[in-house]
């Protein structure tokens, strides 16, 4: 907490050297207002970054016309369609090709706020899953240009907070985390059939987030004899109101708790399993009500030894983490309506490379940083 006060004061220029929290350092690099910040005890610089340019620039702003708060926005696999969901109980799909915004569909069917949406891999067709406070999960499918319910799952007893499709290698499989503490796994078995497995009491008083592990076991990418079926294990991570991050894996058709990662001191709001980049390391980001974001890594092929590294402690709830497709940048969305981008430097330190307020791409300018360094 204290460190964050320091940050704010720094922004307003009122801080004096004596009050400077030693846990963070700010470095001003150019005159354009681009600020490179270092958090933690080490000062870092990032030579790769543009000096005169913010790494984030808005290229399209879509007015969703939602009548209430938007809770999630997800691009499809190709980045040409945008799905949004809102407290107004609707899910909307926009065609955003070439910077446009054409409303393609306005999906109504939920009876409560829709929290999350997830696109299935396009090899299965255009399929979108949504979950809502109404305890339902709806899987929508586009057939002949029209979106319809493909399946409605009502097996939860409380708000369904998160949905996530598994890697396409496993077929159509959806994990759903609910406030009733359970996680459901819905598997499409063909002919409109869905097989349901449920992990009860996965997180006491609620599961807030689920995220699948990449299908490829880390490291197996390199020495995989071509043509041979890789040994896929279905795994995912979940985070919940019991402050835990849990890893689950399927063994003999049964879901088992694989790991329990404890570091957060409040609700885990979101978890994100980083895409595999061919390295023999698994990486998970978790963020919490307590303002902390942890990066969990595991080098051990058996997946048993996870180590946590604190990315940063924010002043407010951290709601959402999202990995870039290449898995090297983490976007962190905080309750202060700020999005920060983080990247791991060569020496393994996580550094903030962009600090975006309200999606405007503006970086808060800091005028007194040079002073502070002296």
Partner 1 sequence: MKLKEINRTAIQSWSPAQHHPIYLATGTSAQQLDASFSTNASLEFFELDLTEPSLDMKSCGSLSSSHRYHKLVWAPYGMDDQSHPSGVLIAGGENGNVILYDSAKIMAGETDVIIAESDKHTGPVRALDVNPFQTNLVASGGNESEIYIWDMNNFGSPMTPGPKTQPVEDVSCVSWNRQVQHILASACPSGRASVWDLRKNDLIIKVSDHSNRMHCSGLAWNPEVATQLVLSSEDDRMPVIQMWDLRFATSPFKILENHTRGVLAIAWSLADPELLLSCGKDNRILCWNPNTAEVLYELPTSNQWCFDIQWCPRNPAVLSAASFDGHINIYSIMGGTNQAQSQRHADQISNSFGNMDPFGTGQTLPPLQLPQAPAPPATVNPLKKPPKWIRRPVGASFAFGGKLVSLENPKPNPQQPQQPASHVVHVSQVITETAFLKRSDQLQATLSAGSFVDFCQGKIDAAENEFEKTLWSFLKANFESDIRSKYLELLGYNKEELALKISAALEEKPAEPPQVEVPAPVSLQPLPDISLMPPTDPPEAAFNMIAAAVVPPVDNPEAAFDMIAAAVVPPVDNPEAAFDMIAATNLQPAMATMEIDSIPDPEEPAAADPEDAPTSKPEENVDQVLPEEEAVEEEIPLEEEEEETAAPDEEEERSPPETSAPAPSPAQAPCQTPAPAPTDGVSLSISQDVDGLITQALLTGDFEGAVELCLHDNRMADSIILAIAGGVELLQKTQKKYFTKTHSKITKLISAVVMKDWHDILKTCDLQSWKEALAAVMTYAQPEEFSALCDLLGGRLEAAEDAQLQAQACLCYICAGNVEKLVSCWTRAQEGHSPLSLQDLVEKVVVLRRAVEQTQHSGPTAIGILLAEKMSQYANLLASQGSLSTAITYLPDNTNQVSVQQLRDRLSRALGQQAATAPAAPVPIQRAQPQPRAPTQTQHASAPPQHTFTPIQPAMVPQPTAAAPMPMPTPAASAPAQPQYYQPVEPPGPMYGMQPSCTAAPPPPSSTPGYMYSQQYQRPQNGWNDPPALNRPSKKKPAPMNYAPPAPIMAPLGADPQAQQGLSGPPQAMGQHGAQVPYSGMQQQLSPPPMNPAMPKTSMEGAPGAPTGDVIQPLQSITAEKILKKPIPDEHLVLKTTFEGLIQKCLAVATDPQTKRKLDDANKRLEALYDKLREQTLSPAIVGGLHNMARSVEARSYTEGLSIHTHIVSNSNFSETSAFMPVLKVVLTQANKLGV
Q: Using CB under 8 A, which of 22, 57, 302, 348 touches partner 1?
A: 57
Q: What are phi and psi of 267, to 5 degrees?
A: -50, 135
122 counts as binding partner 1 under rule CB under 8 A = yes
Residue closer to partner 1, measured from CB, 22 or 193: 193
49 counts as binding partner 1 under rule CB under 8 A = yes
Choose the stretch contacting partner 1; rule: CB under 8 A; options: 12-20, 23-31, 107-115, 303-311. Answer: 107-115
Residue closer to partner 1, measured from CB, 239 or 372: 239
Residue closer to partner 1, measured from CB, 194 or 296: 194
Choose the stretch contacting partner 1; rule: CB under 8 A; options: 32-40, 196-204, 292-300, 306-314. Answer: 196-204
Contacts to partner 1 from residues 328-347, by CB under 8 A: 329, 331, 333-335, 337-339, 341, 343, 346
User: CB-hemisphere CA count at 13 Å for 237?
Assistant: 29
Q: What are phi and psi of 9, to 5 degrees?
A: -60, -35
> What pairing do the DSSP bridges indicate for beta strands 81-86 and 90-95?
antiparallel
Task: Spell out the residues 6+ positions from residue 363 whose beta carbon is closer than 8 angstroms to its own.
Answer: 33, 34, 35, 54, 354, 355, 356
* Cα separations in angstroms, 229 against 212, 217, 303, 313: 20, 12, 20, 42
281 counts as binding partner 1 under rule CB under 8 A = no
Residue closer to partner 1, measured from CB, 214 or 372: 214
Classified as helix, coil or strand, 119 is strand
Q: Using CB under 8 A, which of 12, 42, 204, 305 touches partner 1?
A: 204
Calpha distance 239→287 (Å, rounded): 9
Q: How far is the CB of 238 from partner 1 (least distance, A)?
A: 13
Q: How far is the CB of 374 from partner 1 (least distance, A)?
A: 29
Choose the stretch contacting partner 1; rule: CB under 8 A; options: 36-44, 296-304, 305-313, 321-329. Answer: 321-329
Task: Enumerate the β-bridge partners of residue 169.
Answer: none
231 counts as binding partner 1 under rule CB under 8 A = no
Calpha distance 216→350 (Å, rounded): 25
Q: Using CB under 8 A, which of 22, 31, 190, 374 touches partner 1?
A: 190
Residue closer to partner 1, measured from CB, 79 or 301: 79
260 counts as binding partner 1 under rule CB under 8 A = yes
- Tokens, residue 131: 């979950």
6 counts as binding partner 1 under rule CB under 8 A = no
Q: Are the CB atoms for 132 and 115 separated by under 8 Å?
A: yes
Calpha distance 40→293 (Å, rounded): 13
Q: What are phi and psi of 149, to 5 degrees?
A: -70, 130
Q: Are the CB atoms for 109 and 103 separated by under 8 Å?
A: no
The burial class, CB within 10 Å (0-12 / 13-18 / 19+), for 6 is middle
Residue closer to partner 1, measured from CB, 20 or 70: 70
371 counts as binding partner 1 under rule CB under 8 A = no
Q: How far is the CB of 254 from partner 1 (least distance, A)?
A: 4
Contacts to partner 1 from residues 132-171, by CB under 8 A: 133, 135, 144-145, 153-155, 157-159, 161, 168-171
């Amino acid at each position: 907490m204290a460190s964050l006060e320091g940050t704010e004061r720094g922004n307003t220029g009122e801080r004096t050297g004596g009050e400077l929290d030693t846990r963070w350092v700010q470095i001003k690099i150019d005159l354009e207002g681009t600020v490179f910040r270092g958090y933690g005890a080490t000062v870092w610089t990032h030579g790769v970054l543009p000096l005169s340019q913010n790494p984030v620039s808005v290229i399209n702003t879509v007015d969703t016309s939602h009548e209430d708060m938007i809770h999630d926005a997800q691009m499809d696999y190709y980045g040409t369609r945008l799905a949004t969901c809102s407290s107004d109980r609707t899910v909307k799909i926009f065609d955003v090709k070439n910077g446009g915004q054409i409303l393609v569909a306005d999906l109504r069917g939920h009876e409560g706020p829709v929290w999350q949406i997830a696109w299935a891999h396009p090899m299965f067709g255009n399929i979108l899953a949504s979950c809502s406070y109404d305890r339902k999960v709806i899987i929508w499918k586009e057939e002949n240009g029209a979106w319809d319910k493909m399946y409605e799952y009502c097996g939860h007893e409380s708000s369904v907070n998160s949905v996530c499709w598994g890697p396409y290698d496993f077929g159509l499989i959806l994990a759903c985390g609910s406030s009733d503490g359970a996680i459901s796994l819905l598997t499409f078995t063909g002919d409109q059939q869905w097989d349901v497995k449920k992990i009860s009491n996965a997180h006491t008083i609620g599961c807030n987030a689920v995220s699948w592990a990449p299908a490829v076991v880390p490291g197996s990418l390199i020495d995989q004899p071509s043509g041979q079926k890789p040994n896929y294990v279905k795994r995912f991570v979940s985070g919940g109101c019991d402050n835990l991050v849990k890893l689950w894996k399927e063994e003999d058709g049964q879901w088992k708790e694989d790991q329990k990662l404890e570091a957060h001191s409040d609700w885990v709001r979101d978890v994100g399993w980083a895409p595999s980049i061919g390295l023999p390391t698994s990486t998970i980001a978790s963020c919490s009500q307590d303002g902390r974001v942890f990066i969990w890594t595991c080098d051990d092929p058996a997946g048993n030894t996870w180590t946590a590294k604190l990315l940063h402690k924010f002043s407010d709830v951290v709601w959402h983490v999202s990995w870039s497709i290449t898995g090297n940048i983490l976007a962190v969305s905080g309750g202060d309506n700020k999005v920060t981008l983080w990247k791991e430097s060569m020496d393994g330190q996580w550094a903030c490379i962009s600090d975006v307020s309200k999606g405007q791409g503006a970086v808060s300018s800091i005028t007194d940083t040079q002073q502070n360094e002296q």
